[in-house]
Amino acid sequence: MQSDILDKDIKFLPGIGPRRAELLNSELGIRTFGDLLSYYPYKHVDRTRFYKISQITGDLPYIQLEGTIVHSGITGAGRNKRLTAVISDGTGQLELVWFKGLRWVNDLVRPGKKFLVYGKPTTFNNKVNLVHPEMEDPDKQEKQMRSALQSFYNTSEKLKNNFITSRVISKMQNRLMGLVYGKLEETLPEKLLAKTRLMSINEALLNIHFPQSVEKLKKAEARLKFEELFYLQLNIVRQKAARTGKVRGLPFARVGDLFNRFYHNHLPFELTSAQKRVLKEIRRDTGSGKQMNRLLQGDVGSGKTLVAVMSMLIAADNGYQSALMAPTEILASQHFTTLQKILEGLPLQIGLLTGSTVKKERKILNDKLLSGELNILVGTHALIEETVRFRELGLAIIDEQHRFGVAQRARIWKKNIHPPHVLVMTATPIPRTLAMTVYGDLDVSVIDELPPGRKPVITANYFDNRRERLFGFIRKQIALGRQIYVVYPLIKESEKMDYKDLEDGYESISRAFPPPDYVVAIVHGRMKSEDKETGMQQFVTGRAQILVSTTVIEVGVDVPNASVMVIESAERFGLSQLHQLRGRVGRGADQSYCILMTSHKLSNEARQRIKTMVDTNDGFEIAEADMKLRGPGDMEGTMQSGFPFDLKISHLGRDSRILEYAREQAFIITEDDPMLEKPDNKVLIRQLRRLNPEMEEWSRIS
């Protein structure tokens, strides 16, 4: 019964029909009864309290009252056309205002009619009013499931214009609940329900849409959050168990001559204890006979590339080739140059393959790959093209992981009969809860130390009125032979956003630092690539002391002599981006500084972001704070890079305790029944397939 009714097309729900169904699908992704049922409210408001008009002020939250319309009428013309109605309850009068749907509302609010009115009070011309309030006839209320708390649903401008408001969605949920309540099959095993003491699925869905009390609403949320996170974890835990149990890895049996020669004669600096620890973990994985799937996290400048190089030398010592895949041509070229430099003198051949590689050069690279002559291939997405074939690919290293989709990673997995070992590197610190979820199938290594001699960057917040003091500080740094980044959120001035822009900033900085004493370079995304390259080279070679730029310098630019990062309108940036920008300085032995320029007017969230940046250099702390503030969906594209299904009610930042408990329960179940074959666990397989038919296929790929 459950799957039949939940898979039914939404147009067959009474009161919807094809036109509304099309809108719900295009605007909210609601196609079926099941989709509507899991379209949860974003908030619940207490509707038990009624206000008297004499009690209402403009700073109250949402209020409701009961009264009679005194008079109404349409005034103005064109854009200024509005409908105004005055309602009275005997204690006073209140103005109700509408700017849309005037003809329909005018027919509704005739003088003498009684209404329940609900809305947020606002003040205009020293008069309190309600704009676009909800109106309900107290005598003709729809026989709806009554609850003390009213659910509010996200909708869109297009839906509102077609009269599909939050109230209308609630009415749709009411009709659907009347059809399915008490008939839905349980989606968790009975033993797990008894153990966790969670509400049944029927009760949880009723109380999320029509809460019978605050306590029942909390229990419904707990049940639905647990279920969502439990199935996310169950899928990951099952696939990890299947991979480690079944997928045979290529044996890297020894550490040989190449590794030892590099370690003793070519190492650019002494390895940190964190780098040594990570290399031991990689060595253990690759020598175990099982396929390695490891995530390597480390802040900018922590030495991940060196660990990658030494891992590729282990592969070469065992007769296997390596591939290093980067998200952009600039980063791929930088990796290629770095590898050539630090591996110079060792009997290794390294190739570079990007979209710009010409046909003739591609043919030479492919021939050398097939013969085994080429040991290491560095490149972009070009590495996963069908025409690129290795003789024996033993290790695939993917840099800046979040920029590759799961399907793309799958293609590199299939370059061998036996899948290569996979090392995923990211400079974007990933919060623990996100790592357990998006990367739950990977073993995690962390480089949590900076190389010797590096000093933490000092971060300060300056308001705009301290600009002269900032310029004085910059002059002192330049006099010491240092270089300065100044980053802007916008290229041109914007009417919509009150933020500093690069064009205006470049002019004022050029006036404050005039030639011939100073050279100011400029780089932004709308410049021709040759002009951008010229500006960049001026700074890299040290000819320009100041680089004025947008966030194009966020990834991949390495100028150890740059000691100051000034971020204008820093409130405009997310925490993760601020941390990435700060990572451009502090790459040499000199003390470096990050100055966050902001206006005095900051939202609470912006103030919290700036405070976090000033208080800590720890990328993981910053990532945790970022996810609590913004949620996982915004974090560097992680949602598209491997989430098996969307989170509809849980939040990885706020629900970490539920996530950890759900993961623990998933482990207990799979340890007892790895293939979920016991009768009590059949429901788990059914639900996994229902949530995402492709889930089992993709989640076994790193």
Going by pLDDT thresholds of 50, 70 and 90, the confidence category of residue 555 is: low
Does an H or E element contain 179, and which?
A: helix 166-180
What residues does 121 pair with on adjacent strands? Answer: 130
Residue closest to 574 by CA, chosen among 637, 654, 524: 637
Going by pLDDT thresholds of 50, 70 and 90, the confidence category of residue 324 is: very high
Same-domain status, 408 and 289: yes
Strands 127-131 and 121-124: antiparallel
Given 96, 112, 147, the domain boundary residue is: 147
Same-domain status, 493 and 431: no
Look at residue 659 in the predicted model and tell me its pLDDT: 86
Contact present, 77 and 83 (Cβ < 8 Å): no
Same-domain status, 334 and 464: no
Q: How far, CA to CA in Å, does 110 sit from each of 68, 69, 72, 142, 523? A: 9, 7, 7, 20, 62
* Phi and psi angles of residue 337, each rounded to the nearest 5 degrees, phi first: -65, -45
- Domain that residue 109 falls in: 49-147
Residue closest to 564 by CA, chosen among 479, 503, 464: 479
Same-domain status, 443 and 463: no
Residues 455-501: tens digit of each pLDDT: 889 999 999 888 899 999 999 999 999 999 999 887 765 545 555 67
The answer to the question of residue 226 being in a domain is no
What is the CATH classification number for the domain harbouring 142? Answer: 2.40.50.140
Same-domain status, 277 and 378: yes
Tell me if residue 616 falls in helix, strand or coil. coil
Look at residue 655 in the predicted model and tell me its pLDDT: 81
Same-domain status, 422 and 317: yes
Look at residue 1 in the predicted model and tell me its pLDDT: 44
Same-domain status, 266 and 399: yes
Of the listed ranges 239-253, 401-415, 498-512, 538-552, the least confidently predicted one is: 401-415
Given 96, 113, 147, the domain boundary residue is: 147
Same-domain status, 361 and 484: no
Q: How far, CA to CA in Å, does 35 sit from each of 30, 343, 507, 667? A: 5, 55, 53, 29
Q: How far, CA to CA in Å, does 687 sit from each of 34, 474, 518? A: 13, 60, 66
Count of the separate structural domains present in the chain: 3
Burial tier of 106 (Cβ tally within 10 Å: 0-12, 13-18, 19+): middle
| Cβ neighbours around 198 below 10 Å, total | 20
Tell me if residue 583 falls in helix, strand or coil. coil
Same-domain status, 494 and 591: yes
pLDDT at 606 over 50: yes
Look at residue 611 in the predicted model and tell me its pLDDT: 93
**What is the percentage of the chain residues whose pLDDT exceeds 90?**
43
Same-domain status, 482 and 584: yes
Residues 351-373: tens digit of each pLDDT: 999 888 888 999 999 999 999 99
The answer to the question of residue 625 being in a domain is no
> Could you tell me where the DSSP H helices lie in 247-378?
257-261, 273-286, 304-317, 329-342, 359-371
Given 116, 147, 178, the domain boundary residue is: 147
Contact present, 473 and 485 (Cβ < 8 Å): no
What is the CATH classification number for the domain harbouring 298? Answer: 3.40.50.300
The answer to the question of residue 697 being in a domain is no
Look at residue 371 in the predicted model and tell me its pLDDT: 93
Going by pLDDT thresholds of 50, 70 and 90, the confidence category of residue 301 is: confident
The one-letter code for the residue type at 589 is: A
The answer to the question of residue 638 being in a domain is no
The answer to the question of residue 439 being in a domain is yes
The answer to the question of residue 469 being in a domain is yes
Same-domain status, 495 and 433: no
Going by pLDDT thresholds of 50, 70 and 90, the confidence category of residue 637 is: very low
Same-domain status, 590 and 480: yes
585 token code pair: 């300085």
Look at residue 638 in the predicted model and tell me its pLDDT: 39
* Residue 79 CB partners (closer than 8 Å, separation 6+): none
Residues 120-178: tens digit of each pLDDT: 898 887 888 999 898 888 776 555 556 668 888 999 889 988 889 898 999 999 999 99
* Phi and psi angles of residue 322, each rounded to the nearest 5 degrees, phi first: -125, 150
| Cβ neighbours around 549 below 10 Å, total | 26
Residue by residue, DSSP assigns 304-315 as HHHHHHHHHHHH
Output the average pLDDT for the chain. Answer: 84
Residues 195-225: tens digit of each pLDDT: 999 999 999 999 999 998 889 999 999 999 9
Q: How many residues would you count in the chain?
A: 702
Look at residue 247 in the predicted model and tell me its pLDDT: 63
Going by pLDDT thresholds of 50, 70 and 90, the confidence category of residue 688 is: confident
The answer to the question of residue 3 being in a domain is no
The answer to the question of residue 93 being in a domain is yes
Instruction: State the average pLDDT over residues 258-276.
Output: 90
Going by pLDDT thresholds of 50, 70 and 90, the confidence category of residue 596 is: very high
